[in-house]
Amino acid sequence: MEHPSCVVYLEHDGKVLLVDEKGKGPQVPTPNHLGPVSIRLPSIEEAEALGLKWTQKNQFHILGIEVIKAHPEVDWPEQWAWKDDCISDNAVHPIAREAIYRSIHRLVSKIMIINKEEKVLMGKVERGAFVGHWTLPGGYMDHDEHPSKGCVREALEEMGIVVETSDDAPVISQRIFSREGISFVSFTYIANWLGSDDEIKTKEGEIADYAWFSFDEAINVAVSSFDRAALMIL
């Protein structure tokens, strides 16, 4: 099917607006359906023709197609498509499915491990986006994993130590880092640690070294905005 050069991705409470190849909608996908592509995101003109108004939130490109991510000014789009149903229907255009995939938050869990000298543990990263820089222990959460458990797992994997989170509420941050429009949400917990440095065993191939920093020092060396946000609160 032909595809507009610019489309608007309207999402409200887990529902998205889809139209057919003539711009008529709303259209609803059939989960686990195999068939030709027949429904897609609407162009700006098609959405306006349906009487819709919206507030733009983000903008990105997929395979040369401009996608405007926006929140529609509607109470409840009852007849729109559930975004989860769109993924497994081949009739939904790949641009729409990719846009929906990008709209899903990536969840990260991190931990500030504080020793008796009131210094915080950081690792020098060997892989990923922050190679050669210092970060708090942490990483992507596993499926069906609570963030308070994820950061404890990451501390064990990266530093080889067992920690227990404090009763303090985590520092929660959200940010879109890339031009792809992908949103990250970070949960940063606190753990007080009375162990010895002899117990720390960094993960080979992932953490090149570790060091203890004062909070001011940690803020200065941290490259992750999530790390800085959490460190600056304490």
Any idea what the CATH number is for the domain that residue 207 is in?
Answer: 3.90.79.10
Q: Is residue 221 part of a domain?
A: yes
Same domain assignment for residues 119 and 83: no
Same domain assignment for residues 163 and 222: yes
For the cut 80, the answer to whether the pLDDT of residue 103 exceeds it is yes
Q: Is residue 51 part of a domain?
A: yes
Residue 128 has what pLDDT? 81
Same domain assignment for residues 192 and 220: yes
Residue 185 has what pLDDT? 96
For the cut 90, the answer to whether the pLDDT of residue 130 exceeds it is no
- Of the chain, the percentage scoring pLDDT greater than 70 comes to 100
For the cut 90, the answer to whether the pLDDT of residue 55 exceeds it is yes
Our count of domains for the chain comes to: 2
pLDDT digits (tens, 9 = 90+) for 24-54: 999 999 988 888 999 999 999 999 999 999 9
Model confidence band, residue 154 (pLDDT cutoffs 50, 70, 90): very high
Least confident stretch, 51-55, 84-88, 210-214: 84-88
Which of 140, 104, 124, 131 lies closest to 212, judged by CA? 124
Which of 102, 130, 159 finishes a domain? Answer: 102
Q: Is residue 215 part of a domain?
A: yes
What domain range includes position 155? 106-233
Q: Name the phi and psi angles at 13, rounded to 5.
A: 50, 45
Three-state SS sequence of the chain: CCCCCEEEEEEECCEECCEECCCCCCCCCCCCECCCCCEECCCHHHHHHCCCCEEEEEEEEECCEEEEEEEECCCCCCCCEEHHHHCCECCECHHHHHHHHHCCCEEEEEEEEECCCCCEEEEEECCCCCCCCEECCEEECCCCCCHHHHHHHHHHHHHCCCCCCCCCCCEEEEEECCCCCCEEEEEEEEEECCCCHHHCCCCCCCEEEEEEECHHHHHHHECCHHHHHHHHHC
Same domain assignment for residues 121 and 98: no
Which of 85, 82, 86 lies closest to 95, judged by CA? 86
d(CA 184, CA 129): 14
Q: Is residue 1 part of a domain?
A: no
Same domain assignment for residues 83 and 125: no
Residue 37 has what pLDDT? 95
Same domain assignment for residues 68 and 161: no
Same domain assignment for residues 88 and 112: no
